[in-house]
Structure 1
Amino acid sequence: MVNSYVLIQFMLVDELGNNEWTAFAHIITAVIGSGVLSLSWSVAQLGWIAGPFTLILFALVTLFNASLLSNCHHYLNPRNGDTIINRSYLQAVQNILGHISGVVCAFFIYLNIFKLGVVYTITSASSIRAIKQSNCYHEQGREAACEYRVESYMLLFGIINIIASQIPNFYSTQWLSIMATVMSFAYSLIGSGLGLVQTIGNGKIKGSIGGVATDKPIQKVWLVAQAIGDIAFAYPFPLIFLEVQNTLKSPPTTKVTMLKASRISVFTTTVFYLLCGGFGYAAFGNSTPGNILTGFGFYDPYWLIDLANACVFLHLVGGYQIFSQTLYGIVERWYAEKYPESELLKEFRILEIRMNPLRLCFRTSYVILTTALAIIFPYFNEAVAFAGSVTFWPLVIYFPVELYFVQKKIVPWSGKWVLLRIFTILCFFITLFAFVGSIQGIIAKRFG
């Protein structure tokens, strides 16, 4: 999962002389998150060969697209010869590809923020329910009927975020960024560690070459599609590439430093993902749960499972706010510029927090909408697959290739142009496959 706005908090501290190691830290902090929880299930659907291969393939695609973006930090404007420094992904698209492409790119970026809010609500509610179930199983035994509905927990998450959303602006959320970062590492390490211990306890490695078998071939196809979408959700690091590159010092050139940091980061992330996904599948085989921390392959030690799920919940509260604050700021600045005399902008204070009617109404409505959608479609793996597939191709594949074409003045129908077009088309069909699979899964769960 790409927590690109966690990263910005670290980038505000620019006096330290950022090099490839600080860039590495930024990327690792931004990428490793709740997407790791579904990787064991994804490997289980794909099997011991296709699962790790797909993780490595997405890593290579991610690294390749990062190399394309490395050329876009500095752009020579052909109209006046000025050098433009693109400090963000969206800024690069607007400056190099033009206004219309910028509008389309902005739509997908904001859609990405919104869908993360929905996924975070689903995931956080599952984690609270898992804590309740863990304590119930510990007290009443593993055969007890410890079933709890998630709707009330989603409402709790929504209420917390309605309150937290009244934080005035993004720069007031530094403490949330730090908390979210620590929590994401904690539960990821706990999940992979539990998988390793369970595998050792079993005395064998479970799973098969072909992955989980199904009664109907078409069902296997849809599960494979969802698994690909889940993996895509965990990988689109190029979205934060230019933001990180903008923090680097020269010499050497920021491009050289960033490419080195990218290779180290993608390698580290991929190893981490392979361990998380592999240990979970090795521990549970065909019974691997959709969420490694809430599916109750693990029962003991119950306190450690509770701790891990509490870390997930706290991380997602912070992550929800960090992403949403960016969108809040864009909408509210637009409104203030368009209607500077509006009564909705008049501020008042509640418990020393500056508020205004626009902030109170818009942010509350936004949280209610994401919560409502999560309640209607509370399906973790399908939601993660949808979230991964719906924006992966335009943001991670299409725009970086188009930026490279313009920046490097690639001639149409040249060898490089044809190869990159083939690459773009292949990735489009893979992403479309994952998208259709996620939609089928949501429909099947909702109406099946």
Structure 2
Amino acid sequence: MGYADAETRTLEIENRSQKDFNNCLEEYDDDGHPRRTGNVWTASAHVITAVVGSGVLSLAWSISQLGWIAGPFVMTFFAFVTYYTSVLLADCYRSPEPVSGKRNHTYMDAVRANLGATQVWICGFVQYSNLWATSVGYTITAAISMVAVKRSNCFHENGHVAACHISNNPYMASFGVLQIIFSQMPDFQRLWWLSIVAAVMSCTYSGIGLALGIAKAMENTHSHGSLTGVSVGHGIDQIAREKKIWQIFQALGNIAFAYSFSAILIEIQDTLKSPPSENKTMKKATLVGVLTTTFFYMTIGCMGYAAFGNNVPGNLLTGFGFYEPYWLVDFANVCIVVHLVGAYQVFTQPLFALIETWASKKWRKSKFINDDLDLKVPIYGIFPVNLFRLTWRTVFVITTTLVAMLLPFFNDIVGLIGAYGFWPLTVYFPISMYINQKKLKCWSSKWVGLQALSMICLLVSIAAALGSVKGIVHALSNYTPFKTRY
């Protein structure tokens, strides 16, 4: 080989190496993570899937407890707080700078970077126990919707006064089996298609609930509901007054639950590609998600209350205020189930990732934990199966299913979950991280305003938790485990 040939060969090797290097850069982000592909629409789908959940079905009942004045006001308040604090939280994805700083892959990472190790443990316990509790709530709701389809057909065939009582345990078990299958998805990013399907389903059943509410309200010439909600006052005994107060507190928890997605906001943001910067995209996705959900919440809650007044059922589509057209009620409940399949995964994937990352670091040489087996799936192709993931995620789903069977109380559980997670995850940590990030001085006007907002939300969460616990205690007084029938 001559000198010229050798020089040409060297240049070819250098060009090829540079090309391979550039390809590697294209395949991986700055943190070595495979290139993120999420955008404002996939993030919006995740947000809508997480926000428009089973909570939407209890909003008409919640407004009936608060009335026409306080109901819409409280809902608007929760929407504003959720959006505002989510904007603050989106800036914490990177630290110390929102655009060029180091990535925080999880909510706990963001707390660690901005508030230190001490508060990480508190955040982790609240966040992941809240995600676990939400998966229990979704299992309960999905089973109730499955039972509602069966009952709807029964009422259609036998009349509205028929005793169509059906156990929800087999349906919870069926939902659990389905979640065991879907939980084998390796990571959050591969769930974008499930979130889009779930978001479409949530908009569909919300639209059906709205249409049925409008139709029901137009059937009657007299108005429904009142300015103060379920009646209490002169002539009402003390027991009724106390019940009214507890139910108002519980209604606050139900509305808080309906807006609880901050626990997974950082995890959603970690799926976004850049440029543009992740915080800008996440803020747009949050705005789209909160505006969309608030529109559905306000219209469904108000029209449901207008349709049934103070007798509105706790769950709008399964409480059987609507009997006909039965096929439309059935379709809405099927949409609820499909949506909750996706929502369950959106809320549990961060918990799955936490445990599996910890186990992988703890036992680096374990083949059971770290090695994947390639399984050929028809149509899909090669699917990586990890034995540890298969085992522990299956146990997790079984556990949430069993707890749902033991505590199948829709409104009470929804209210308690909302109250438990709203203040710390949606308000306290985002505000505290923002104050630290911006170095706000104590007792400055903005510092005082943020702390006042945090304190108000804390009091609301405490009241909501007390109301929900009271409801659960009352429900348990007339309850036999695994014997619930609807």
Superposition TM-score, scaled by structure 1 size: 0.86
Asked whether the 8 Å contact 2:49–2:198 carries over to 1, the reply is no
Q: Deviations over 1:134-188 (max 9, x none)?
A: 0001111111111112122112212222233334444444443232222111111
| Residue 273 (structure 1) aligns with | 297
Q: Pick which of 345-354 and 118-127 moved more.
A: 345-354
Superposition pairs of residues 398-413 of structure 1, within 5 angstroms: 398-413=428-443
Q: CA deviation at 1:29?
A: 5.0
Query: In the aligned structure 2, how far is the partner of 1:365 from the partner of 1:244?
Result: 25
Query: In the aligned structure 2, how far is the partner of 1:306 from the partner of 1:172?
Result: 30
Q: 1:83 to 1:315 in 2, by over 3 A?
A: closer
Is there any run of 5+ residues in structure 1 with no aligned partner, and where?
1-10
Whether 2:219 is the aligned partner of 1:201: answer yes
Asked whether the 8 Å contact 1:127–1:313 carries over to 2, the reply is yes
Whether 2:365 is the aligned partner of 1:341: answer yes
Superposition pairs of residues 18-417 of structure 1, within 5 angstroms: 27-69=47-89, 71-76=91-96, 83-86=101-104, 88-213=106-231, 216-239=240-263, 247=272, 262=286, 265-342=289-366, 344-345=368-369, 352=377, 354-417=384-447
Query: In the aligned structure 2, how far is the partner of 1:168 from the partner of 1:263?
Result: 29
Is there any run of 5+ residues in structure 2 with no aligned partner, and where?
1-34, 233-238, 378-382, 479-486
Q: CA deviation at 1:67?
A: 4.0
Q: Deviations over 1:292-332 (max 9, x none)?
A: 11000000110010001111111112222333233223212
Q: CA deviation at 1:376?
A: 1.0
Query: In the aligned structure 2, how far is the partner of 1:139 from the partner of 1:306?
Result: 14
Query: In the aligned structure 2, how far is the partner of 1:290 from the partner of 1:414?
Result: 44
Equivalent AA in structure 2 for residue 112 of structure 1 = N
Q: 1:411 to 1:277 in 2, by over 3 A?
A: same
- Local SS of the residue matching 2:219: helix
Query: In the aligned structure 2, how far is the partner of 1:161 from the partner of 1:29?
Result: 16
| Residue 5 (structure 2) aligns with | none
Asked whether the 8 Å contact 2:95–2:104 carries over to 1, the reply is yes
Query: In the aligned structure 2, how far is the partner of 1:245 from the partner of 1:322?
Result: 13
Superposition CA RMSD, Å: 2.8
Equivalent AA in structure 2 for residue 385 of structure 1 = G
Equivalent AA in structure 2 for residue 428 of structure 1 = L
| Residue 481 (structure 2) aligns with | none
- Local SS of the residue matching 1:49: helix
Q: 1:168 to 1:422 in 2, by over 3 A?
A: closer
User: What percent identity do the matched residue pairs reach?
Assistant: 45
Equivalent AA in structure 1 for residue 37 of structure 2 = V
Query: In the aligned structure 2, how far is the partner of 1:429 from the partner of 1:265?
Result: 26
Q: Which of 436, 439, 442 is matched with 2:466 structurally?
A: 436
Equivalent AA in structure 2 for residue 149 of structure 1 = S
Query: In the aligned structure 2, how far is the partner of 1:172 from the partner of 1:74?
Result: 23
Q: 1:335 to 1:275 in 2, by over 3 A?
A: same
Query: In the aligned structure 2, how far is the partner of 1:84 from the partner of 1:422?
Result: 30
- Local SS of the residue matching 2:95: strand
Q: 1:25 to 1:318 in 2, by over 3 A?
A: closer
The higher radius of gyration belongs to 2
Q: CA deviation at 1:74?
A: 4.7
Query: In the aligned structure 1, how far is the partner of 2:273 from the partner of 2:373?
Result: 40
Query: In the aligned structure 1, how far is the partner of 2:90 from the partner of 2:192?
Result: 28
Asked whether the 8 Å contact 1:33–1:188 carries over to 2, the reply is no
| Residue 426 (structure 1) aligns with | 456
Q: CA deviation at 1:416?
A: 3.0
Query: In the aligned structure 1, how far is the partner of 2:375 from the partner of 2:446?
Result: 59
Superposition TM-score, scaled by structure 2 size: 0.80
Q: CA deviation at 1:349?
A: 7.0
Query: In the aligned structure 2, how far is the partner of 1:315 from the partner of 1:24?
Result: 15
Query: In the aligned structure 2, how far is the partner of 1:189 from the partner of 1:373?
Result: 31
Query: In the aligned structure 2, how far is the partner of 1:175 from the partner of 1:127?
Result: 23
Query: In the aligned structure 2, how far is the partner of 1:377 from the partner of 1:233?
Result: 17
Q: CA deviation at 1:108?
A: 2.0
Asked whether the 8 Å contact 2:50–2:347 carries over to 1, the reply is no
